Amino acid sequence: MAILLTGTALAQESSGLAFLGDRWIQEGSAGSLLIFIAIASATFLSDDLTCIAAGLFASNGSISVTLAVTACISGIFVGDMLLYAAGRTLGRQVIQKAPLKWMIQKGDLTRTTQWFERRGAIVILISRFTPGTRLPTFVTTGVLQLNTIRFAIYFLVTAALWAPLLVGAAYILGARATALLAAYQSIALPALIVLALLIWSLVHVILPLCSYGGRRRLLASWRRFTRWEFWPPWAFYPPVLFYVLLQAVKHRNLTAFTASNPSIVAGGFIGESKSRILRGLDGSAEYVARHTLVPASLETGARANAVDAFMTQAAISFPIVLKPDTGQRGMGVKITPSREEMMEYLAAADFDVVAQEYAAGREFGVFYYRIPGEASGRILSITDKRLPTVSGDGTRTLEQLILADDRAVCMARVHCRRHADRLTDIPADGEVVQLVELGTHCRGAVFENGAWVKTPQIEKIIDQISQAFPGFYFGRYDIRTPSVEDFQTGRNFKIVELNGVTSEVTHIYAPGYSLLAGYRDVMQQWRLAYEIGAANIRNGARPSTVGELIKLLLDYHPADI
């Protein structure tokens, strides 16, 4: 092993190769097996340098070319398979832990897996010839649990192409092979990056400019970049986090906000149980959509029977809403129109599920707060949630209609993914196609400032409902109602969800709402959260500790299907 590791340095001596003049071992002897194992093992440290060293030994006559090549191929193949095995064994555990579990959803894994399955051979080939990309690529194939036999063949074939090239180059060129390898390694990855950027520009910019659909998609990307309502949370929230820290200093308690709702775990910071919160509204059951909790511990058949029993008892029929008991931002929520789709959902859901009656009509997000000790609370914000539609003209496909609509085009990727099975359909003239079923902004709903909806009657009813929930002071109701008039008079509406301290005053995402106004309103929300939490602490409530919040973050796993 020591000879292999020093072979490259020896090869660079100006006086020539300082190897033994005679072959070290006889072919087929026990010594040849040891050398074979030594070369193969050395590839685990650096396959490229080992191939060069083995080629240099062969050029000096110390070992045969056959031994050098076969040992290198074997070592590289075994090393690649070990990387694959490491990814397969440990990778899924890693992506199920924070922070990766917050960013990687089942749908993302499925799409990535399908992409690798389609293009695996070329990906492995490019990675084999590009130093610096092999380890992450090969581990990723294991994380995605791709077909073992197929990718083993890819690893073997690419190793059988790469190793003879390096061994042969070293055999022919001698000491110069090391310098050439160093030069190649210095430019291979940057060259690949430049090439990738050129190809990306060609595919995603130049070619799309040549078609109407491509130009509309580029317009969508530009609008999403320039309109802050579409920014991801990590781009919008840094100034808010700084303001939150100022509030923590002011109240001398970093986690005071978690006491804003003493009856909800951590005030509703993350991972709170939707069913438990809805049960807290039992005192106002006439205003709450009927629901039941279906535990993950039951078999699929038993879970379906539980939903059937709930529907019979509540005298409701399909469609019904199924959603994770601890979901966020509309993840995993599905309106199921039939028992067959309900069964499919329950079979795929490895989490506790809330089954809820479907409430039709307009949807509003109502943000409520009450300062402890005050007689009544107030509505801080109302969001008018619009579910976008397109109208057919009898000539254009659904995809063309989506791309042509000035608003829908901004969420074209989401809409086209959701309606993938009917994008080529041509809606009849005047036919209205609803693009979104749920009032979730990240899934395509349009949020408008609903301040115009607020009336003394609805504010009074919301306050009564909130005060009937002991220990609730701060959060957002998601409400559905058959008509705006009913809602404004405080009757005939259903609460489908109540979110705690980390819910948002979502009217800020209204098209045209200024960024500064958005920051102002969100910061006001967090100021109130700290004030209410601090008041509750003075009244005996216990805020969550930093350790408890970290545990909630680590334990939380976005549930999606």
Size of the chain in residues: 561
pLDDT at 16: 35
Higher-scoring residue by pLDDT: 507, 17: 507
Same domain, 494 and 369: yes
- 63 falls in which pLDDT band (50, 70, 90)? confident
Residue numbers of the domain that contains 221: 202-230
Section 63-78 average pLDDT:
93
pLDDT at 198: 78
Task: Examine the pLDDT at 469 and tell me if it is beyond 90.
Answer: yes
Mean pLDDT in the chain?
86
End-to-end CA distance of the chain: 51
- 428 falls in which pLDDT band (50, 70, 90)? very high
Same domain, 255 and 374: yes
Query: Which residue type, as a one-letter code, is found at position 81?
Result: M
Q: For residue 449, what are the β-bridge partners?
A: 383
Rounded to 5°, angle at Cα 116 from 110 and 121: 165
Higher-scoring residue by pLDDT: 543, 15: 543
Residues 6+ apart with CB under 8 A from 537: 253, 256, 259, 543
Same domain, 15 and 73: yes
H helix or E strand, kind and range, residue 335:
strand 334-336
Query: Which residue type, as a one-letter code, is found at position 163?
Result: A
Higher-scoring residue by pLDDT: 507, 16: 507
pLDDT at 263: 95
Section 205-233 average pLDDT:
89
Please give the model's pTM, rounded to 2 decimal places.
Answer: 0.72
**Domain total of the chain:** 5
Which residue, chain included where needed, has tokens 């149980």? 273
Higher-scoring residue by pLDDT: 295, 108: 295
486-510 pLDDT per residue, tens: 999 999 999 999 999 999 999 999 9
Same domain, 69 and 170: yes
Same domain, 153 and 81: yes
pLDDT at 1: 40
Which residue, chain included where needed, has tokens 């063949």? 153
Same domain, 69 and 99: yes
pLDDT at 554: 80
Same domain, 440 and 482: yes
Section 296-303 average pLDDT:
93
Task: Judge contact between 390 and 345, C-beta under 8 A.
Answer: no
Task: Examine the pLDDT at 144 and tell me if it is beyond 90.
Answer: no
pLDDT at 557: 73
Same domain, 414 and 481: no
Section 280-286 average pLDDT:
93
Nearest to residue 375, comparing CAs of 251, 456, 451, 466? 466
Q: For residue 480, what are the β-bridge partners?
A: 363, 494
Task: Examine the pLDDT at 4 and tell me if it is beyond 60.
Answer: no
318-368 pLDDT per residue, tens: 999 999 998 777 788 899 999 999 999 999 998 999 999 999 999 999 999
90-111 pLDDT per residue, tens: 776 666 665 555 555 555 566 6
Phi, psi of 380 (to 5 degrees): -85, -35
Q: Give DSSP secondary structure letters for 119-150.
A: HHHHHHHHHHTSTTSHHHHHHHHHHTT--HHH
Gap between the Cα atoms of 236 and 392, Å rounded: 36
Both tokens assigned to 346? 């329950």
Q: Cis ω on the peptide bond leading into residue 232 (within 30° of 0)? A: no
Nearest to residue 410, comparing CAs of 225, 543, 276, 152? 225
Burial of 300 (0-12, 13-18, 19+ CB in 10 A): middle
- 2 falls in which pLDDT band (50, 70, 90)? very low
- Other CB atoms within 10 A of residue 298 CB: 15
Same domain, 372 and 277: yes
Gap between the Cα atoms of 490 and 462, Å rounded: 8
Gap between the Cα atoms of 449 and 381, Å rounded: 8
Q: Where residue 452 sits, what CATH number does that domain have?
A: 3.30.470
Same domain, 404 and 499: no
* Boundary residue ending a domain (215, 230, 245): 230
Gap between the Cα atoms of 263 and 266, Å rounded: 9
Q: For residue 324, what are the β-bridge partners?
A: 353
Gap between the Cα atoms of 303 and 194, Å rounded: 53
Task: Judge contact between 224 and 407, C-beta under 8 A.
Answer: no
Section 235-246 average pLDDT:
96
Same domain, 88 and 190: yes
For 24, 35, 37, 367, 419, the CA distances from 29, given in Å and listed in that order, are 11, 10, 13, 81, 66
Percent of the chain beyond pLDDT 90? 60
Q: Give DSSP secondary structure letters for 181-217.
A: HHHHHHHHHHHHHHHHHHHHHIIIIITGGGSHHHHHH
Q: Where residue 350 sits, what CATH number does that domain have?
A: 3.30.1490.20
* Boundary residue ending a domain (358, 376, 400): 358
Residues 6+ apart with CB under 8 A from 416: 399, 402, 423
Higher-scoring residue by pLDDT: 9, 358: 358
Same domain, 397 and 347: no
19-46 pLDDT per residue, tens: 333 444 455 556 788 889 999 999 998 8
